[in-house]
Amino acid sequence: MSSDSKILIIDDNEDVLQAARLFLKQHVAEVHTEKDPGRIPALLKNESYDVILLDMNYSQDVTSGTEGFQWLQKILEIRPSAIVVMITAYGDVEMAVRAIKEGATDFVLKPWQNEKLLATVSSALKLHDSRIQLDSLRTRQKQLSADLDSPFHDFIGNSEATRTVLDVIGKVAATDANVLILGENGTGKELVARALHRNSRRSEEVFITVDMGAITENLFESELFGHVKGAFTDAREDRVGRFEVASGGTLFLDEIGNLPRTLQSKLLTVLQRREVIRVGSNRPRPIDIRLICATNMPIHSMVQDNSFRQDLLYRINTVEITIPPLRDRQEDIPALVAHFLTVYSRKYNVQKRSVSAAAGKKLQTYHWPGNVRELQHTIERAVIMSEKPLLQPPDIFLPEPVMQQDGFVFEDYHLETVEKTVIRRTLSKHHGNISRAAAELGLTRAALYRRMEKYDL
């Protein structure tokens, strides 16, 4: 039997409750007893039981089992997946058959033989475990199907920067170390996370992705930790959270920097204790995950600004991997272009596309504020729109730089690009004087230094 199993016994006979509790507590973690069946709804609201032993006959009706059947239906109405074993001193075959038909798992007679009771409870616990595993597998399958439907990407390149990232992946993947991946949007942070998983000892297990920026605060605990039926208005059934689904495999928390500070402590508690408690329950459930996080935000500066907990940062970044933007590894562009041409020529069932020297130069000299993701979409569009196998410069649609009235050029309106350009221009205007530049920008010297470090200025 599982060492953490929890059983509830309901019988109006104190002697029966005492005998069953004393015997079963030798074999399971917790045995709760209750004399009044009227307290069943309250018990199920506050606790989650692996097996419920339910007496069929109470003082109002000691032979027909009517009350027992009524409470069986009530239990299954509250918890459809509950494992219920019926017990009675007046059992017969017809009553046993009816109990099974109405949702009971098994049937025992009292006075029972301890060996028979233990065997029945053991079988019920195994069934409970099987149902939990089945629910988890179903949830995993849904998540895997969603992942398979997402666009195909790959982490490709021959630049020194890319080789450095791949080298770190090779060293870290085989361990269970927590990894924090830093980089701008579109640089391939999830690709690095998947590469870490694919080359780990957990590669045969699931890889579960959670976009932390897309989860609202009121659904955070339910999505990540799960909930039990009735925990809140829309909780119509028990739900396995992402942490439990990922147990045994890898959990990837994308955009971790978007997590509000009010929720960071809850995440930290789970990571420290290695267990989750579903919303509406007080039963801890152990988890075994490899944690990988990613963000495009200046998370170290956020710690200094007190918007991200330092203890949480220490917890998630045993190893840190920084992916440089595509503009800083332009040697990778030809290999990425060739890869995406192959992928989309096959996807749209057209003759294999290639790029002319002039088109290649246009791709090579563009700034790529959207990084690899923007390059991918550019190539996909070119494959769709061009009717010729050799792509020319007009086939490569790229946005033109935006010229401001004062002659100041923004290559795009991406906030990081604008901020970097403004800081660079202000520093140039004041000939590198940090105090004057900070004053004009409305920043402290420390804040300006952090941004200069972020943008490598």
* Pairing of the two strands 30-34 and 6-10: parallel
Q: Which residues pair with 31 in a beta bridge?
A: 7
Q: Quick one: pLDDT at residue 152?
A: 37
Closest CA to 422 of 451, 392, 379: 451
CA 61 vs. chain centroid, Å, equals 50
Residue 67: in which H helix or E strand, if any?
helix 66-78
Q: Quick one: pLDDT at residue 310?
A: 95
C-beta pairs of 395-398 under 8 Å, 24+ apart in sequence: 395/359, 396/355, 396/359, 396/362, 396/363, 398/362, 398/366
Q: Quick one: pLDDT at residue 273?
A: 93
Closest CA to 388 of 363, 351, 413: 351
Closest CA to 13 of 111, 106, 128: 111
Q: Domains in the chain, please, with CATH?
A: 6-130 (3.40.50.2300), 150-322 (3.40.50.300), 326-395 (1.10.8.60), 402-454 (1.10.10)
Q: Which residue in the block uniquely carries the two structure tokens 């089945």?
A: 134
Q: Which regions of 96-166 does DSSP assign to beta strands (E)?
A: 106-109
Q: Quick one: pLDDT at residue 1?
A: 58
Q: Quick one: pLDDT at residue 430?
A: 79
Closest CA to 258 of 299, 291, 292, 224: 299
Q: Which residues pair with 35 in a beta bridge?
A: none
Q: Tell me if the bond preceding 389 is cis, omega within 30° of 0.
A: no
Polymer length in residues for the chain: 457
Average pLDDT per 10 consecutive residues for the chain, totaling 457 residues: 79 88 89 90 88 80 70 89 83 73 86 87 88 76 54 69 92 95 92 92 91 85 85 77 92 92 92 91 91 94 91 95 92 94 92 94 91 94 93 90 53 72 82 81 81 80
DSSP character at residue 145: H
The string over 184-205, giving b where at least 16 C-beta atoms fall within 10 Å of a residue's C-beta and e elsewhere, is bebbbbbbbbbbbbeebebeeb
Closest CA to 142 of 74, 239, 217: 239
Spatial distance between the Cα atoms of 265 and 288, rounded to a whole number of angstroms: 19
